[in-house]
Amino acid sequence: MATEAYKLEDIPGVGPTTAEKLREAGYESVEKIAQSTTTELYDTAEIGEATARKMIKWCTSQVSPDAASSSDTKSATQEDTDNMTQRRLDIEDIPGVGPAIAEKLRDAGFLTIESIATSLPSTLAEAAELGEATAKKMIKWCRDQSDIGGFKTGTDVFEQRLKVKKLRTLVPEVDDLMGGGFETQAITEMYGEFGSGKSQIVHQMSVNVQLPEELGGLGGSVIYVDTENTFRPERIEQMVRGLEIEGADPQDFLKNIHVARAQTSDHQMLLIETSRELAEELKAAGKPVKLVIVDSLTGLFRSEYAGRGSLAERQQKLNRHMHDIFKLCDEYNAIGLVTNQVQSNPAVFFGDPTKPIGGNIVGHTATFRVYLRKSKGGKRIFRLVDSPNLPEGEATFLVEEGGMRSC
């Protein structure tokens, strides 16, 4: 039968309703379906991905019988395309996941395929009330779709690194020290004594991140977890005016900073775990999350887990909390900026006895570590202590009413 003689209803599995949807979407012939991609077809015609792939394969074989043997090659190529566009997949597309399980997953904070792909089977099984074997199958499927968990060449990693953005402090000395500014897909930990400038920097970055890229920002929103009641909207207003940008309205900047006051360490962890829902809403609104702040990271943990007897539990929770922050930043190409308290080591007689709270757990998980301290004349010293690709060094800056400034 010539392809002209085929109607859409002749395609296996296509009834009158599906055929009508296809025609409304512009697929009026077998040839047009054969030339489409799986993603285009299931998006526009509202059909399942597997069904769309079978339809394309059948139509391709009818348009060109010789193409039937090569359809597998096209399918393989299409798989790569689907991997690139996997964000369009919903949780309901996972085999065996219906509306009820999908709702449980969303309530537990699993809003995307990536969040499931990077979760633990035990965590997923508990959240969705599933067997661990079923959870493992779901995670494997999500990893296959999102291309997570496999080996990549150095060239692939280099191309991924090209997506990394830099958020400038607008203090040239500090930006040069940080290789251009604070980096996305990474956690930067800033520790220092009270009054060293930690909260001042996170306030400044909450303003700067909303600027367009040509002005040193990322054009994004902020998720701000406040554990010490240090967030001050008045300070944001002062810093916006300090930018001296014509037409800049402080209220517009405040609208894009989403603040949550954590009351306990468990509440603090929950805020990060459930922030994906807010991140998805902001992304859909055209103002994606580009900065995740926790000020401070260890304050509540330090007060609730006192003594050596509770040290192991505290460190385990801190480890999980920091990895949740990192996954959030990695998924949305955002910056993780956390502040940390310090303690003095009485055994140190020479040199600086100050060291950050959290021990090796925080030190290993943070990508960049910055030590802030006060100096003479109101100056602050910004010292890069640890980085995977930048040398150690120091820079100085001032904190004025209008924000951070060069000395």
Known binding positions for ATP: 192-199
Separate counts of helices (H) and strands (E) for the chain: 19, 13
Angle at 347 between CA 342 and CA 350, to 5 degrees: 90
For the beta carbon of residue 179, count every other beta carbon within 10 angstroms. Answer: 15
> Do 88 and 68 form a contact (C-beta atoms < 8 A)?
no
What 3-state class would DSSP assign to 211? coil
What 3-state class would DSSP assign to 335? strand
Known binding positions: 192-199
DSSP tag of 163: T
> Do 272 and 266 form a contact (C-beta atoms < 8 A)?
no
CA 255 to chain centre: 20
Torsion of CA 405, 340, 320, 230, to 10 degrees: -70
In angstroms, the CA 59 to CA 64 distance is 9
Q: What is the DSSP string of 226-294?
A: ESSS---HHHHHHHHHHTT-TT--HHHHHHTEEEEE--SHHHHHHHHHTHHHHHHHHHHTT--EEEEEE
